Chain A
């Protein structure tokens, strides 16, 4: 078993219920930890995360590199090494089963069937020496037991669905023949082939141009609505989560520091890290040469994180309390907005 650390998550069940208690949960994660054993010590990449993904909604997870957002998604998918270098604890409840307790053989039936994933770089998730059509029919035959001919027909329908022109002809082409945006569409078609209940999109548009980015985001949204699918959208871009998610989680150094319905969180951030993240991105409406409010310093080491609040050393409001005691993730008065901070930001009068 792994060391559970000094902080017992007081919020476990409340946080797990997520931002909207009335929404039905498809995925419930309770006090999840993913620690890596490294020569220099144990890296606490995900360190006590609880969340809920509601049916038919999109949950955004934002954070910078090293926040644990991508490790979290790979833990859900069960695609991290099983050689003892990765240690887990906590529960990943999906449709009544704890995915962490499943054998690899059982997990293979879930992966690609019930939960699918798309990655930042579509070239690395597609097989470069396999025809596009076969990459889709492989999923259809393995998970849905379709015949070869039926799978081929369905594959063409899927390519049409994700907006590839001339889908019949595309089936016999290779990923190298396509542009980055078209490859990501193919990766989405592969992910959606078995009609998953949950799609995890890890930085799906980061490698794409801005005009193509909005096309892919629109596509994901319309597919999600058509199929009543749940989506976890992982990104470092607050602009993207703003328009395309229902609920939002902000992660810092392996922990959730704030979570709420997206509109509420971005219009009324309570955790200073969220505010700092919003202020440090240049905005189109500001005049040229506006001084940016940079966050000083660097993200903390995951191997030997500071005692107290992990954002404390970079926080402009930090006090002795922050240095001594890690804040728990607790709900605000209304209950739907959780934050981990000893000194939450005042609520602006206009939105109070």
Chain B
């Protein structure tokens, strides 16, 4: 994964609302995605992961910071200036059924991006629509004239993926693409996304709340909490040696199937709930729920520190540092 940086995000800030109800949904997020790489963005509801994904494509305006795609600064572009770039930047949403216009035929839905991109030749459009549908495992002959309600949720998600791929994009944002699907269908779609990534040489941002799904598909993973990234690392490393207490807590709270019959380990529970993003805690935003928080955590915002091998964490007391430095008693039995 030594490709060039395709997407570069720096100090991205996104705000919602006006006046007194104004709040910061994403505050100062930075990361890079290299060509051919899949970056997973994981976190709980309200952490700003979907907003980040949408802002990369300028579907949501940034309040500050920069989003660069191939050295182009996207946040400064007008709607009209973005248009020629759109074919290269596509997105797949969570709910495939509401993403497809129920009154239009599949052939027209998938052809729409080609029409917008100005491909006037009808036969050329049809050829490419058929190619995209076939690639995602939909029988093009049978599907072209049908409407979304004649397909299951999994098939609709395949059609959404075909629509996103028909213009052969370079960068694809997947916003919880398998969260509304059954487990058996979820596996089909995840495998399909991996195949499409190879076939179309895609670079992806994969947004999800499901850590197991994110690990499966991502090369690197960024963990978000209340509008900020708290840890970023190569996928395997993040799951083996989480350095941020929040990442560790997330991993520990996943109920896993016990295949041994020994009873297995029960998920560990994190105390409290996510504070309102409208009024995030000062200092480290996780300190109100953190099992190892100390006085410093409530006062000072931790800055990112590089551990090694592309693993960085924003924590005053990361779990990976030698035990002697850690506040040992606080950790025992927790997380």
Contact = CB atoms under 8 A, between A and B. Distances in A.
Interface of A: 64-65, 179-182, 209-215, 217-218, 236-240, 242-244, 263-264, 266-268, 276-278, 280-284, 286-296, 298-299, 351
A-B CB proximity, top 3 nearest: A267-B261, A239-B255, A294-B187
Given A182-B273, A210-B209, A212-B273, A281 B190 contact: no
B194 interface: yes
A87 B219 CA distance: 51
A209 B186 CA distance: 19
Contact of A283 (B45, B212, B217, B262): B212
Contacts of B269: 211, 214-215, 218
21 contacts: A65-B182, A211-B250, A211-B270, A212-B44, A218-B269, A237-B255, A239-B254, A239-B256, A243-B264, A266-B258, A267-B258, A276-B184, A280-B184, A282-B215, A283-B256, A284-B211, A286-B216, A288-B236, A291-B191, A292-B191, A295-B184
Contacts of B256: 239, 242, 283-284
Nearest to B213: A282
B261 A351 contact: yes
Nearest to B182: A64
Given A65-B182, A267-B260, A292 B255 contact: no
A210 B261 contact: no
A237 B212 CA distance: 13
A242 B254 CA distance: 11
Given A210-B250, A298-B154, A181 B273 contact: yes
B263 interface: yes
B253 A298 contact: no
Nearest to B40: A288
A276 B152 CA distance: 20
B183 interface: yes
Contacts of A277: 183-184
Nearest to A261: B261
B236 A266 contact: no
B44 A209 contact: yes
A210 B263 contact: no
A243 B257 CA distance: 8
A68 to B, nearest CB: 14
Contacts of A240: 255
Contact of B194 (A214, A263, A289): A289
Contacts of A239: 254-257
A268 B219 CA distance: 33
Given A240-B255, A289-B194, A291-B191, A268 B216 contact: no
B256 to A, nearest CB: 5
B183 A280 contact: yes
Contact of A211 (B44, B190, B236): B44
Of the listed residues A64, A65, A211, A281, the one surrounded by the most CB atoms of chain B closer than 10 A to its CB is A211
Contact of A284 (B186, B251, B259): B251
Given A236-B183, A291-B191, A294-B191, A209 B45 contact: yes
Nearest to A237: B255
Contacts of A295: 184, 187-188
A171 B254 CA distance: 32
B255 A242 contact: yes
A250 to B, nearest CB: 12
A264 to B, nearest CB: 7
Contact of A266 (B182, B187, B190, B261): B261
A266 B251 contact: no
Contacts of A64: 182-184
Given A280-B183, A281-B186, 4 more contacts: A215-B269, A282-B187, A288-B215, A294-B191
Interface in B86-143: none
B16 interface: no
Contacts of B255: 213-214, 217, 237, 239-240, 242-244
Of the listed residues B219, B249, B267, the one surrounded by the most CB atoms of chain A closer than 10 A to its CB is B267
B273 A289 contact: no
Contacts of B183: 64, 236, 238, 277, 280-281
